[in-house]
Amino acid sequence: MKRDYYEILGVEKNASAEELKKAYRKKAMEFHPDRNPGNKEAEEKFKEAAEAYDVLSSPEKRTRYDQFGHAGVSGASGGGGYNIDFDLETIFERFGDLFGGHFGGGFSEFAGGFGGNRRQQRRQVRKGTNLRITVKLTLEEIATNTEKKLKIQKQVTCPQCNGQGTKNKADIENCPKCNGSGHVIHQQRSMFGIMQQAVVCPQCNGEGTVVKNPCTNCHGTGTVKGEEVITVSIPAGVQNGMQLSMHEKGNAAPRGGMNGDLIVVIEEVLHDVFEREGNNLYLNYYISFPQAALGGSVDIPTLDGKARIKLAAGTQGGQVLRLQGKGLPELHSQRKGDLIVNVNVWTPKTLSKDEKESIEKFLKSDNFTPKPGKNEKSFFNRVRQFFS
């Protein structure tokens, strides 16, 4: 069972972004593989801290985690959801800049080269840019697991050179400036002595290679404009504004790098009948005066059909009914919200002569004179009882 992310970093749930960063730096320094060579337990704690920081440092992921726990940020089926199961290489690439010249983000001769050799040996891995799209969903679609096939315009791998930037592999050479390492060494004198730091090579942008004869189709970039049909799996219970991340479904990266991610933003379409609040649905339902006076069975519309309920004789306008489990499902849960029905008695705006004469007979009837009793709750009390 996964530990609580706040517990892993040793912070309170209201910790600020700066407090999270400091806590993560402390944990990462403590369990870094260079300080604990061969210690698998330390390596796992190092990964655990990175995963916790990855979620809590993102406002959107943190909100989902606070609301739904680990289920809110775990990978969903079909490639959706968040991908936070990364390896050491990914951690160094993503968070290395948090540690300056100590490790992961260069190396310092003064610091004894701590972590520097690993960084020096790694070439910069290019990543394609992320794509963001909006998917519109009806309440009926939100009520169930939904799949959407989307045709997306994006940067794709060049078909002529297979993303290499050139048709002939022999035309790809080691960068003469960094000798294929992807980094060059900068020296700087300080009060502590000569400081050395590895920085990204400006000539090859960290790739370690250059192309002599670039592909005429992509001009050496390895990518061209294209389109792709992507199936997006959307779990039931999503809400307006939620974002799902599909790993490496974004733009292709130059010359064989890692694709960017596809960010899917949920837009909820307004419904003609129901209004939504959280997982509950609200419905204004009208009955006729005879139905209110006599009672009887009525069919209440729901998202998946109709529900037959029995109205008591003498039903009053403004009465609130709750149909349990007829609302929307909770995200990553078996629980469902309710359908809240506000009963309104419909009063005709025009009457025929016969109808008017018939109704006028009731004016003198004592039984039709309003006589609210002590047990008749106000509108606000009737609504409040469902939220107390």
Q: pLDDT by residue (tens digit) across 175-212?
A: 999 988 888 887 777 665 677 777 888 888 788 888 88
Q: Please report whether residue 231 resides in a domain.
A: yes
Query: Is the domain of 237 the same as that of 361?
Result: no
Domain co-membership, 254 together with 282 = no
Q: Does residue 303 sit in the same domain as residue 326?
A: yes
Q: What total number of domains does the chain contain?
A: 2
pLDDT at 108: 32
Rounded CA gap, 64 and 84, in Å?
A: 14
pLDDT band with cut points at 50, 70 and 90 for residue 295: very high
pLDDT at 379 over 90: no
Cβ–Cβ < 8 Å for 220, 165 = yes
All residues at 6 or more sequence positions from 46 whose CB lies less than 8 Å from its CB, including other chains: 27, 28, 31, 32, 33, 88, 91
Q: Which of 116-120, 147-151, 162-166, 184-188 has the lowest mean pLDDT?
A: 116-120
Kindly state whether residue 36 falls inside one of the protein's structural domains.
Answer: no
Domain span holding position 364? 275-384
The answer on 296 and 367 residing in a single domain is yes
| Backbone torsions φ then ψ of 113, nearest 5 degrees | 70, 25
339 CB neighbour count, 10 Å cutoff: 24
pLDDT at 362: 86
- The alpha carbon of 79 is separated from its chain's Cα centroid by a whole number of angstroms, namely 13
pLDDT at 214: 92
245 and 321 co-located in one domain? no
Q: Evaluate if residue 122 carries a pLDDT over 60.
A: no
Strand blocks (E) in 123-242: 131-137, 146-157, 172-174, 183-190, 193-200, 209-211, 223-234
Beta pairing, strands 209-211 & 172-174: antiparallel
Domain membership of residue 85 (yes or no) is: no
Which pLDDT value is given to residue 193? 65
Between CA 341 and CA 343, with CA 342 as vertex, the angle to 5 degrees is 105
Long-range CB pairs of 301-308, under 8 A, 24+ apart, other chains included: 301/273, 302/326, 302/339, 303/139, 303/140, 303/143, 303/274, 303/328, 304/140, 304/143, 307/339
Q: The domain spanning residue 225 has which CATH number?
A: 2.60.260.20
* Domain match, 133 and 258 both: yes
pLDDT number for residue 190: 65
Q: Is residue 178 part of a domain?
A: no
Both 285 and 251 in a single domain?
Answer: no
Same domain, 339 and 374: yes
Domain stops at, among 269, 300, 334: 269
Reported as a single tens digit per residue, the pLDDT across 308-364 is: 999 999 999 999 999 999 999 999 888 999 999 999 999 999 999 999 998 888 888
Is residue 196 assigned to a domain?
Answer: no
Question: Where does residue 327 rank: exposed (0-12), middle (13-18), buried (19+ CB within 10 A)?
Answer: buried
More confident: 94 or 323:
323
Residues 139 and 226 in one domain: yes
- Shared domain for 310 and 371, answered yes or no, is yes
Q: How does pLDDT run across 253-293, given as a tens digit for each residue? A: 988 778 999 999 999 999 999 999 999 999 999 999 999 99
More confident residue, 303 or 76: 303
269, 297, 331 - which closes a domain: 269
- Domain membership of residue 295 (yes or no) is yes
Looking at the structure, do residues 364 and 255 belong to the same domain, yes or no? no
Q: Average of pLDDT values for 123-149?
A: 89
Is 69 within the bounds of a domain? no
Lowest mean pLDDT among 119-128, 156-165, 276-285: 119-128
- 201 lies in a domain? no
8 A C-beta contact, residue 332 and residue 309 = no
Please indicate, yes or no, whether residues 249 and 282 belong to a single structural domain of this protein: no
pLDDT at 87: 62
